[in-house]
Amino acid sequence: MDRDRDLKKLFDDPRIPDADLTGKVMRILNAKPKEKERFFVKYKVALTAFVGMLLMGSTGYAAVQYHSLNNKDGEVVYETKSTKDYGKTESKER
């Protein structure tokens, strides 16, 4: 409580002159050149979303094409099949 009263006395002291610094401060703020934002910082969210969609699309396309891989002559090099296509295999009993 005593500290608050001491501060009030300081602020009410007539020795502190009233000064209007608004004009000087505004001139300094307006005179400072504005920094341009870099492209990446400005469009960070949009660029991240675009790259994510591009990766998801390419992954989806690769998953669809995964069932068979062809060489440049058009011959099937690798092909996946479901387990139903293989049929039952006999297990050897020991």
**Per-residue pLDDT reduced to its tens digit, 3-57:** 666 777 777 777 766 778 888 888 888 886 767 777 777 788 888 999 999 999 9
The pLDDT, as a whole number, for residue 4 is: 67
The pLDDT, as a whole number, for residue 55 is: 96
Cα separation values, 8 from 1, 11, 13, 20, 70, Å: 11, 5, 8, 21, 86
The pLDDT, as a whole number, for residue 85 is: 65
Of 79 and 92, more confident: 79
The pLDDT, as a whole number, for residue 88 is: 58
Of 58 and 77, more confident: 58
